[in-house]
Amino acid sequence: MQSLINKIQLFFEQINNFNDNQKIIALGLLGGLLAVLFAYRYLAILITLLHEFGHAFMAKVTFGKVYKIHLNPDTSGVTETTGGWRSLFILLSGYPSPLLFSGLFVWFLRLNYPEFVLFVLLFVSISVLFVIRNWYGVLICLLGVILTGSLIYFGQSEVFTGIAGMLIAFLTLGAFRDVRAVFHHHLGPSDADLLHEKFTFIPAFVWKLVLLLLMFLALVPVWRGLASLLLF
């Protein structure tokens, strides 16, 4: 117990020694945490957008085709791509994608290019806009283009840094909150269920564990990057 108290005291002492940039990142992380706790239902569509982009990106990387993407008001999404052996990688890429973006954003902060975070989100919004096939999805992508474009045009370095910190926390925590859908059958077939349908010799439960393992592996660079930014 005393050891835990000492670690907490050390953490707050570390915060007192933060420079201005570290304080902005910490405030952004806190904002992202609060967003997950109190506004996730309104913002979860961002997780869905990056999830579906992950499927589409992997399809293109494996020389497949993306036929359409749907983003729905209940924060669910669907991406239709070519099947075959590619489906293994395509279906595995969805849930880890928000964490991979989070790790990329941490890297941008380490390089001191926080504005790149918004450029990436602008690219994602525009890319998905070309293959979106429902009006709600079009609205979300257009909103993403307008918001990121406006922030890039009017924002300053401190704003970019704070937004990056907020997105890192939101995407990291939101990704693990989103993966709960894999274990709730009433929400419809998950990526793990679809993997089981494609590769019937492996149970869906095993695919669920594989997805969780991939997410924890994607979490490693996020954690290490934040530690290097804030603790050392």
pLDDT digits (tens, 9 = 90+) for 189-225: 778 878 888 777 888 889 989 999 999 999 999 999 9
Residue-wise pLDDT for 13-31, tens only, equals 666 778 888 899 999 999 9
Measured between alpha carbons, how far is residue 122 from residues 14, 143, 145 in Å? 34, 10, 5
For residue 97, give both structure tokens.
């994608």
Tens-place pLDDT, residues 29-64: 999 999 999 999 999 999 999 999 999 999 999 988
Distance CA 149, CA 214 (A): 32
| Predicted structure pTM score | 0.90
To the nearest 10°, the Cα dihedral for 199, 79, 117, 126? 150
> Which stretches of the chain are DSSP H helices?
2-16, 20-38, 40-61, 86-92, 97-110, 115-129, 135-154, 157-178, 191-198, 204-230
Mean pLDDT computed over every residue of the chain:
89
